[in-house]
Structure 1
Amino acid sequence: MKTKDMILAAVLLALGTILHAITPPIYGVTPDMLLATMFLAIFIVKNFSSTVVISLVAGVLAMLTTKFPGGQIPSIIDKLVSGIVVYFIYKYIFKFNLNTIKSGIINFVGTFSSGLVFLTFAVFVFTPSMKDSFLVLVGTVVLPASIMNTVLGIILSKSLKLSKKLRKA
């Protein structure tokens, strides 16, 4: 990974961590804005090993700021899984070619898969007393968070494209 890409990824993860920390929880689960910045960092590096590192760092940062009881380990697992899912969609389906619609699709699928993995581990493994509310949490937290991250991801990817154009000028 180039130094400037590493620094940009770190700045994006820091921004995502701040958003994750200040976003209020919905029914005890915080919509994870860190995912949108993690996905953008993955779009920048275009490298599998860097994607794994970015995902693990994002997982640790999310672990430190989670408000969900027992959500520390699931935070790491869901970032790793969703990072790999996003990387493979980006590389093999979209061939490292990104536009607004593709960015939106990747952000939605990545956030939705992250939410499902997080809730599956958090609810069924760490807090089984909440298993009756799994589908409610998917509908009231994961789906709205996926929509919010889709919008945020589109805005961030457009900002990145604009900054690249400005640097070339």
Structure 2
Amino acid sequence: MKLRDMVLTSLLMAIGLVLHQVTPPIVAGMRPNFLLVMLFVSLFINPTPRNALLAGMLGGIFAALTTSFPGGQIANIVDELITSQVMAALIRKGKNVNQKIMVPVVGFIGTIMSGTNFLLVAMLVTGTLPAAFPVLFTTIVIPTAAINTVATSVLYGIIAATGSAARQKDVR
């Protein structure tokens, strides 16, 4: 992996952390998980396993530093590492699929996977959850997945357009 790719992934994840911290709740207390959104965007830009490992590790550490969920520190790191590898593999397999379809699908499926992994690992670490798994899944994971689907599509569109403009300038 080139240094440029590592720096870009690190910057996207840092932007995700800042957005994650400053975004207020927008729908019934839910807000986009911008760390996940930027994880998915960085994987669309570079879906290699090494980049997925870097993005997953950064996302996990950043999320662990900011969580207040019981057992969330370990759960975030495990969750982000698993989710990043699986989503990178899905993106590589779907490279011939239209991006307008693939981006929201990855945003939704990736968030569902991440939320499920997080809750399961947190339950294993602490032995219990603050509420029943189905309650947390339906009230937090699914609405967050819907919001992240839109956020992933919008931010990827902006970043991809910006990247295309920058590459065109380099060509001239």
Under TM normalisation by the shorter chain, which class is it? 0.7 to 0.9
Q: Is the 8 A contact 1:17 1:61 kept in 2?
A: yes
Correspondence for 2:10: 10
Structure 2 residue ranges without an equivalent (≥5): none
Residue 162 of structure 1 deviates from its aligned partner by 1.0
Between the aligned residues of both structures, percent identity stands at 34
Farther off after superposition, 57-66 or 26-35: 26-35
Equivalenced residue count is 167
Correspondence for 2:148: 149
2:119 is aligned with 1:119: yes
Residue 71 of structure 1 deviates from its aligned partner by 0.5
Residue 124 of structure 1 deviates from its aligned partner by 4.1
Residue 133 of structure 1 deviates from its aligned partner by 1.6
Q: Is the 8 A contact 1:16 1:36 kept in 2?
A: yes
TM-score normalised per structure 1: 0.87
TM-score normalised per structure 2: 0.86
Correspondence for 1:62: 63
1:1-169 correspondence to structure 2 within 5 Å: 1-23=1-23, 32-92=33-93, 94-95=94-95, 99-128=99-128, 130=130, 133-167=132-166, 168-169=168-169
Q: Is the 8 A contact 2:13 2:59 kept in 1?
A: yes
After the TM superposition, which segments of 4 or more aligned residues of structure 1 sit over 4 Å from their partners? 23-31
Residue 24 of structure 1 deviates from its aligned partner by 5.7
